[in-house]
Structure 1
Amino acid sequence: MALQLERATQQRAAILAAFREHPHPLLPADVHALASVHCPGLGIATVYRTIKVLLAEAVLETVNLPGESARYELKDRPHHHHFQCRACGRVFDVPGCPPSLAAYAPPGFAVDGHELTLYGRCAECLRG
């Protein structure tokens, strides 16, 4: 039993390392590829189970982009938005927030949250 618990700890540590080392929203397949470097033999089902647990523990949060599968990122980051490259599909963090977004709400409405995603081509795709 101790070996199984140790393995679970190594797997979770590898998955958390993937999120810490790559500070942008990741798909489960990305997490699997990155974490497998630290924990060979890691299964994709374990990645999905661990993501579910980390969501329940409020360690991760879901990043939803229209027409895309859910991505995940660490929840401890300051408020930010995202940029999605239309060429390669990768998603990057955009620090900060434009001021006065509440001004775009219809008169008499109260804004209590927002999501903002920028689209274009990343620097790597522009060079290529």
Structure 2
Amino acid sequence: MTATRSTRQRDVISRVLAGAQGPLSVPEVLKRAQVELPGLGVATVYRTLKLLTEQRRIHPVLLDGETRYEVTGRGHHHHFSCTVCARVFTLHTCPVALPSGTVYPGGFVVEAHEITLYGRCPDCAQTPSRAPENALKPD
């Protein structure tokens, strides 16, 4: 693999992703990167995300049909998606004790798992508000 020339745009986008509390969508990456680079365009963000993914410096995370991106190397983790503000956070604890190699009833052999929890983030939980229309309703 040949070394790729570093650019200011690539450096800023990499820093934005590295400093995020969870995976970011393209619009979130663009908005955060434009704080430092006001002229940054969405096409540059897409090209940079593609390159960083090919370099395995970041990886895509599909949540609710939307592709988000996060840096690689953060180990086993899961995500929490706020149903009020739509931010996604990384959870560093696993709510399921299901190691690789576990044989699930019916003969399914577990190789890996992904979990996304949904609810209100700490900021939104402190603010009384009406329930969002897309929130999960109890049975």
- The match for 1:3 is none
TM-score, length-scaled by structure 2:
0.79
Residue-by-residue CA offset, 1:1-60 (whole Å, 9 max, x unaligned): xxxxx8x70000110111122131100111111111222211110000100111111111
The structure with the greater share of residues assigned to helix is: 1
In structure 1, the partner of 2:109 is: 110
Aligned-partner Cα distance in 2 for 1:100–1:29: 34
- Listed as ranges, the matches of 1:39-118 within 5 Å are 39-66=37-64, 68-97=65-94, 98-100=96-98, 105-118=104-117
Separation in structure 2 between the aligned mates of residue 43 and residue 121 of structure 1, nearest angstrom? 31
Cross-structure match for 1:15: 13
TM-score for the superposition, normalised by structure 1: 0.85
- The residue type paired with residue 93 of structure 2 is G
Structure holding more strand per residue: 2
Q: Which amino acid aligns with 1:75?
A: T
Large movers: runs of 4+ above 6 Å: none
Structure 1 vs Structure 2 CA RMSD: 1.9
CA contact (8 A) 2:103 2:109 kept: no
What letter matches 1:127 in structure 2?
A: Q
Asked if 2 retains the 8 angstrom alpha-carbon contact of 1:23 and 1:73, the reply is no
Task: Assess if the C-alpha contact under 8 Å between 2:103 and 2:110 holds in 1.
Answer: no
Aligned residue for 2:24, secondary structure, equals coil
Specify the SS of the correspondent of 2:15. helix
Q: Aligned partners of 1:24 and 1:81: how far apart in 2?
A: 9
Q: Which consecutive residues of structure 2, in runs of 5 or more, have no partner in the other structure?
A: 128-139
